[in-house]
Amino acid sequence: MSVGPAAAGVRTSWKQTPASVRSAIESWLGAPVVKSRTHAGGFSPGLAATLESESGRRVFVKGVGPTPNPDTPGLHRREAEVVSALPTGLPIPTLLWRFEDADSGWVVLLFEQVDGLNPHLPWQRQELDRVLQMLTELSEALTPSPIEAGPVGEKLITRWRGWRTFAGSPDPRLEASTLRHLEELARLEELAPAAAFGETLLHLDVRADNLLLTSDRVFLVDWPWAQVGAPWLDVLFFAPSVEMQGGPSGEELLSRMPSPPPDRAAIDAVLASFAGMLTFLSLQPPPPGLPTVRAFQAAQGDIARRWLARRRGWT
Q: Which domains does the chain have, with CATH numbers?
A: 19-112 (3.30.200.20), 125-312 (3.90.1200.10)
Average pLDDT over residues 303-309: 98
Q: Which pLDDT score, from 0 to 100, does residue 204 have?
A: 96
- For 86-107, the pLDDT digits (tens) are 999 999 999 999 999 999 999 9
Q: Which pLDDT score, from 0 to 100, does residue 1 have?
A: 60
What is the CB-side half-sphere exposure of residue 160 using CA atoms within 13 A?
26
Does residue 9 carry a pLDDT above 80?
A: no
Secondary structure of residue 224 in the 3-state scheme: coil
Distances (CA, A) of 138 to 51, 108, 222, 267: 28, 26, 15, 21
Distances (CA, A) of 189 to 56, 194, 225, 289, 306: 52, 10, 20, 30, 16
Secondary structure of residue 53 in the 3-state scheme: strand
Residue 110 pLDDT class (50, 70, 90 cuts): very high
Average pLDDT over residues 118-135: 97
230 neighbors 262 (Cβ within 8 angstroms): yes
Burial of 158 (0-12, 13-18, 19+ CB in 10 A): exposed
Instruction: State how far Cα 307 lies from the chain centre.
Output: 20
Secondary structure of residue 170 in the 3-state scheme: coil
Q: Which pLDDT score, from 0 to 100, does residue 315 have?
A: 78
- For 270-292, the pLDDT digits (tens) are 999 999 999 999 999 999 988 99
- For 21-41, the pLDDT digits (tens) are 999 999 999 999 999 999 988
Q: Which ranges of the chain does DSSP label H, i.e. alpha helix? A: 19-29, 72-85, 125-141, 152-158, 162-168, 176-180, 182-195, 233-244, 250-255, 264-282, 293-312
Does residue 44 carry a pLDDT above 90?
A: no
Which DSSP category does 287 fall into?
P
- For 167-188, the pLDDT digits (tens) are 999 999 999 999 999 999 999 9
**How many residues comprise the chain?**
315
Mean predicted lDDT score pLDDT of the chain: 94
DSSP notation for 256-267: TSSS----HHHH
201 neighbors 146 (Cβ within 8 angstroms): yes
> How far apart are the C-alpha atoms of 145 and 122, rounded to whole Å?
33
Residue 157 pLDDT class (50, 70, 90 cuts): confident
- For 51-68, the pLDDT digits (tens) are 999 999 999 999 999 999
Residue 154 pLDDT class (50, 70, 90 cuts): confident
> How far apart are the C-alpha atoms of 139 and 230, rounded to whole Å?
9
129 neighbors 218 (Cβ within 8 angstroms): no
294 neighbors 282 (Cβ within 8 angstroms): yes
> How far apart are the C-alpha atoms of 202 and 228, rounded to whole Å?
6
Q: Which pLDDT score, from 0 to 100, does residue 251 have?
A: 95
- For 176-220, the pLDDT digits (tens) are 999 999 999 999 999 999 999 999 999 999 999 999 999 999 999
Query: For the ranges 3-7, 93-97, 242-246, 294-298, which has the lowest average pLDDT?
Result: 3-7
Q: Which pLDDT score, from 0 to 100, does residue 38 have?
A: 95
> How far apart are the C-alpha atoms of 270 and 254, rounded to whole Å?
14
